[in-house]
Amino acid sequence: MPETEPKDAPAKPVRAPTDQLGLVKFHIVAAIVWLGIGMLGGTLMGYRLTSPEAAEFLGDSAALSFGRIRMFHTHSVIFGWLTNGFFAFAYYAIPRLVGRDLFLPKLAKIFAPLTQVALVLGGGAILMGHAQAVEHTEAPWWADAAFAVCFVATLVSCVGTILLSGVRNLYVSAWYLILGFIFTALNFVMANSIVAFVAPGAAGAALSGLWIHNAVGLWVTPMGAAIIYYLLPVVLKKPIASHKLSLLGFWTLAFFYPLGGSHHYFYSPVPWWLQMLAVPLTFTLIFVVYSVVYNFFATMRGKWSQLASDIPLRFLAFGLFNYIVTCTQGPFHALLSVQQVVHFTDWVVAHAHLALFGVFSWWLYAFIYWIWPRITGRGYNRKLAEAHFWVTLIAFWVLYYIPDTIAGLMQGFFWLTTLPLQDSLEAAMPFWMTRAISGVFLMLSMVFLVWNLFFVKNGKVGLEVSNG
Amino acid sequence: MAEAADNHTKPPAEGKAERPMFVLLVAGVGFFLLSFVAMGVLPWLSVIGQEPPEEFVNPYVDENGELNAIGRGREIYIAEGCWHCHSQFVRPVANEEFRYGPRSQAWEAMHDVPQLYGTRRIGPDLSREAGRRSDDWHLAHLWNPRTTVPGSIMPKYSWLFEQQGDTWIPTEKATDLVAYLQYLGIHFKEEVRKQVWPDRVTVSGAPEATELQATRGAELFQHYCSGCHGTAGDGKGLAIDFLKPGASDLTKRYLPREEVFRILFMGSEGSAMPSFAELTEKDLWALSQYVNALGEPALKPALAPAKASEAVLAQGRELYRTQCQACHGENGVVPAAMSKSFAGGPAPKHFRDRLYHPDEVRRVLKEGRPGSAMVAFPNLKPAEVDALIAYMASLFDREQYKVKE
């Protein structure tokens, strides 16, 4: 395919950097292991909600009790799976984005395994009953401190590479990478110090809202955006449609997103003015969302047929479809009439899984399928990849997302009545059953992924691209 | 070597807003600080302005600053992740004040670091738990939630208990956790109490007994009652080791439907028997019919002593007057002052409204009712007990409850 340089591309040629393929591979493998563990925990939890008998499954083990697994599950998927995946992406993309070798590669190589140690310590501490009560960072302070050091080391390598490259005009993925790393380092330390040990009651809730909201909004989202803005033009071999729009999307995300966090505590004793402020600020995010969506569709113009054959592109596209759904839901949750019904219910659980699994995990799948042949020189098997895609798509939408959303609505409307709470649980159980089954299928799809990456011989797919 | 394809990830033109340091400082650091101030510091200052109505010292520590039972209980609550399924704030919307109690105030959590408001509810909100249930209910429920709520999907916390022979004894961890649960919402305890444990109500107008109600009642009984009262209603449910006073053996007492309805509606404060007022009136009557029928076998033997000779009845009356009347009241109507929970147990029973199988009376007189103010009367002679049984049977209001002999 002939090169189609953007017309206004800078004249300065970008030097080809040395790839840190070992580092990228290490983090991808770690990410996949954590995803497997996280899914196992999620499925175990899901099954236990399906009936009073199921609630007693492995019920004599304190370490495997529901509450601890609940915290272990989010620990595994947010820090183990997504964060490792994002590190892999950052180590690969940043040198290429700025045309400079990775800053302090030795530091990165030392801290890659140490990150896993910190995560294992944190997860183990949660299972042993040493959790702290800060949502989405329940590992105790010493494990959090260890993880923070690892995170900052990664930040130094990654952001340092960008700053030292001397490149003054950055591609949008690099902005998102800088934003995600810097904001999240500050946010993570804030949560594990001020929320965990200083801020009481309603003030703590407001800051906890800041943390949980931005763990998703300014870690997972910018990293995901960095991936799709990087992969989409590379896979399609054409630049993104509107650079200006991506600029607008970036700045509105960075400015407005952090200010809406108190919407996690609507109608709580958190000051009312703050809750009221969160309504319009949250609603503004719909513009961020549609800037990404527009850019995707405009860039895809004329390339849709490529979805049929291109596995990474398909994960990107269907992840974007989930992004449209989940990010359209989000601003409407901030409307108080909606909030009254859906808050505290499974609606939110479904929404969160659509974002963290349906969007960002799928974009990571896209990255993994795209990068794997480049790291290992091994292609993958198309049938297995197709099986992974279709089982994931169907199990998640048909057995998880739709039933869980219905269950959430049922709970919300049940609670508006004066019927016993117990009735709302029983009404949800059939839906929870399909959710538990979806967990089994999603783990099956993981088997396809792992088989494909590690055990398939003579896989062809992916190789032709890296040679192109 | 960098791929040619990477050439597509280049920005088109140079601009200030894209410089790395600018992005880092403004978006990364600046917007974080902005949100920290707007979302954290300002609300913090505004919360500090909301003082509690009266002095509120840290409830989690003793004078020496060491964690007390409530504080230790809170630690367990955190370690087990209880807050992921049980929120701790009552919203002023969606019927929550009716379901749980007064809406939450900011100052209530002023000693909670970190806060435990929670963002998800699988089980009920717990911020209005103080005084809602008895300690023994909580212990049984923690040991195995199916004991007190047969349909519950809560995990059991048996590692907070020790097995000694055939019974399970709560460890300090379990009692600490219960202390914490009983602390939650302590400032609104009286308001919640009035809402959860109403003054004695008068119930009348039981609908005609029907086959359909019997079926529905049986279903409801297994669903809501069998954990404590046993699947057969004989008081030998899963919770048997924990409850003091133990769950009533419903086959050994005849309870008119109105009386069952009253207990279901009010609960029995001081015992583990909660209120089931959330059920619909139809369901409450169906359940009442079923429980009433469970006691039918006790009716005949319970009524028989009422036909005793005048001399026996007089002896019983005299014994009742000296031994029972202070609590159970003249003519089997408990005085108003006694008709609420006292001495940490449930209120005394009105003998006007219920009939006990003679065996049950003998047992309770011999053993007392541990966990209630009903003590044992081991010195009563068998003849005296019989006289008491005869007199109690005569107190029962057969006319009102339309009981045929």
Torsion, CA A226, CA A209, CA A285, CA A295, rounded to 10: 10
- Find the mean pLDDT for residues A233-239: 91
**Nearest partner of B288 among B258, B267, B318, judged by Cα:** B258
**For residue B253, what is the enclosing H or E element?**
strand B253-254
Query: DSSP assignment, residue B59?
Result: T
Vertex A96 angle, CA B27 and A26, to 5°: 95
Asked if A206 and B40 come within 8 Å (Cβ–Cβ), the reply is yes
Q: CA of B197, closest CA in chain A: separation in Å?
A: 17
- CB burial readout B108-144, b (16+ within 10 A) else e: bbbbbbbbbbbbbbbbbbbbbbbbbbbbbbbbbbbbb
Residue A220 banded pLDDT, cuts 50, 70, 90: very high
Residue from A3, A228, A268, A277 to probe the interface with B (highest B Cβ count within 10 Å): A268
Measured from the Cβ of residue B244, the count of other Cβ atoms closer than 10 Å reads 17
**Nearest partner of B125 among B152, B91, B79, judged by Cα:** B91
Rounded CA-CA distance A246/B110 in Å is 43
Residue from A12, A267, A339, A347 to probe the interface with B (highest B Cβ count within 10 Å): A267
Asked if B113 and A412 come within 8 Å (Cβ–Cβ), the reply is no
Residue A462 banded pLDDT, cuts 50, 70, 90: confident
- The pLDDT score that the predictor gives to residue A458 is 82
- A16: alpha, beta or left, given left = phi > 0 and alpha = psi -120 to 50? beta
Which chain A positions have a beta carbon within 8 Å of B174's beta carbon? none
Positive or negative CA dihedral for A446, A448, A454, A455? positive
Asked if B87 and A421 come within 8 Å (Cβ–Cβ), the reply is no
Q: How far is CA B338 from CA B199, B248, B377, in A?
A: 11, 20, 20
**Nearest partner of A372 among A313, A316, A312, judged by Cα:** A312
Considering only the C-alpha atoms of chain B, give the largest distance between any 2 of them, rounded to a whole number of Å.
Answer: 113
Asked if A183 and B42 come within 8 Å (Cβ–Cβ), the reply is no
Vertex A355 angle, CA A339 and A97, to 5°: 135
Among the partner residues A56, A181, A238, nearest to B8 by beta-carbon distance: A238
Query: DSSP assignment, residue B15?
Result: -
Average confidence score pLDDT of chain B: 90
- Find the mean pLDDT for residues A2-29: 68
Residue B405 banded pLDDT, cuts 50, 70, 90: low
Domain boundaries, chain A: 17-169, 302-468
Q: Which two tokens stand for residue A354?
A: 């659509």
Residue A59 banded pLDDT, cuts 50, 70, 90: confident
- Find the mean pLDDT for residues A235-253: 90
ipTM: 0.93
In this structure, of A162-166, A315-319, A445-449, the range with the lowest mean pLDDT score is A162-166
Is B326 near chain A, with CB under 8 Å? no
Query: What whole-number percentage of chain A has pLDDT above 70?
Result: 96
Is A409 near chain B, with CB under 8 Å? no
Query: A173-176 long-range CB contacts below 8 Å, 24 or more apart?
Result: A173/A93, A173/A97, A173/A225, A173/A226, A173/A227, A173/A229, A173/A230, A173/B9, A174/A94, A174/A97, A174/A98, A174/A226, A174/B20, A175/A250, A175/B18, A175/B23, A175/B27, A176/A222, A176/A223, A176/A225, A176/A226, A176/A229, A176/A250
Q: How many CB pairs under 8 A join A and B?
A: 331
- Find the mean pLDDT for residues A370-376: 93
Query: DSSP assignment, residue B356?
Result: E
Strand-strand pairing, B167-170 and B161-164 = antiparallel
Please give the CATH superfamily to which domain B299-395 belongs.
Answer: Cytochrome c-like domain (1.10.760.10)
Amino acid at the residue A382: R
Asked if A261 and B39 come within 8 Å (Cβ–Cβ), the reply is yes
Asked if B95 and A271 come within 8 Å (Cβ–Cβ), the reply is no
- The pLDDT score that the predictor gives to residue A7 is 40
Query: How do residues B337-390 score in pLDDT, each as one tens digit?
Result: 887 877 788 999 999 999 999 999 999 999 999 999 899 999 999 999 999 999
Domain boundaries, chain B: 69-196, 211-297, 299-395
Query: What whole-number percentage of chain B has pLDDT above 70?
Result: 95
Has residue B15 got a pLDDT over 60?
Answer: no
Show the 3-state SS of B120-188: ECCCCCCCCCCCCCCHHHHHHHHHCCCCCCCCCCCCCCHHHEEEECCEEEECHHHHHHHHHHHHCCHHH
DSSP states of B215-231: HHHHHHIIIIIHHHH-T
Q: What is the chain A residue with the closest CA to B155?
A: A55
Is B94 near chain A, with CB under 8 Å? yes
The two domains B69-196 and B299-395 share their CATH topology (first three levels equal): yes
Rounded CA-CA distance A169/A230 in Å is 16
Residue B393 neighbours by CB under 8 Å, 6+ apart: B302, B303, B304, B305, B306, B355
Has residue A467 got a pLDDT over 70?
Answer: no
Rounded CA-CA distance A466/A369 in Å is 12
**Which residue in the block uniquely carries the two structure tokens 């209005």?**
B128
Scan residues 202-241 of A and list those with Cβ closer than 8 Å to B: 202-210, 212, 214, 229-230, 233-234, 236-239
Is B121 near chain A, with CB under 8 Å? yes
C-beta separation of A217 from A258 below 8 A: yes
Report how far Cα A413 is from the mean position of its chain's Cα atoms. 30
**Which residue in the block uniquely carries the two structure tokens 């009073």?**
A52
- The pLDDT score that the predictor gives to residue B188 is 94
Q: Which two tokens stand for residue A404?
A: 């869980």
Query: How do residues B16-67 score in pLDDT, each as one tens digit?
Result: 555 888 889 999 999 999 999 998 999 898 887 778 888 899 999 999 999 9
Query: How do residues B77-96 score in pLDDT, each as one tens digit?
Result: 999 999 999 999 999 998 89
Q: CA of A216, closest CA in chain B: separation in Å?
A: 14
Q: Which two tokens stand for residue B223?
A: 């669903």
Strand-strand pairing, B253-254 and B355-356 = antiparallel
Has residue B5 got a pLDDT over 60?
Answer: no
Cis status of the peptide bond prior to B245, with omega within 30 of 0: yes
C-beta separation of B113 from A132 below 8 A: no
Vertex A241 angle, CA A238 and A244, to 5°: 130
CATH of domain B69-196: 1.10.760.10
- The pLDDT score that the predictor gives to residue A12 is 45
Vertex A246 angle, CA A240 and A248, to 5°: 155
3 state DSSP class of B376: coil
Has residue A225 got a pLDDT over 70?
Answer: yes
3 state DSSP class of B254: strand
- The pLDDT score that the predictor gives to residue A3 is 39
- The pLDDT score that the predictor gives to residue B389 is 93
Is A162 near chain B, with CB under 8 Å? yes
- Find the mean pLDDT for residues A4-18: 52
Please list the residues that pair with A448 across neighbouring strands.
Answer: none
What CATH fold (topology level) applies to the domain B211-297?
A: Cytochrome Bc1 Complex; Chain D, domain 2 (1.10.760)
Q: Which two tokens stand for residue B95?
A: 């019927």
In this structure, of A95-109, A234-248, A342-356, the range with the lowest mean pLDDT score is A234-248
- Find the mean pLDDT for residues B241-250: 92
Residue A446 neighbours by CB under 8 Å, 6+ apart: A32, A35, A36, A39
- The pLDDT score that the predictor gives to residue A214 is 94
Rounded CA-CA distance B237/A223 in Å is 54
- The pLDDT score that the predictor gives to residue B46 is 86
Asked if B10 and A96 come within 8 Å (Cβ–Cβ), the reply is no
Q: What is the chain B residue with the closest CA to A239?
A: B8
Residue B307 banded pLDDT, cuts 50, 70, 90: confident
- The pLDDT score that the predictor gives to residue B18 is 58
Is A17 near chain B, with CB under 8 Å? yes
In this structure, of A409-413, B170-174, B275-279, the range with the lowest mean pLDDT score is B275-279
- B51: alpha, beta or left, given left = phi > 0 and alpha = psi -120 to 50? beta
CATH of domain A302-468: 1.20.210.10
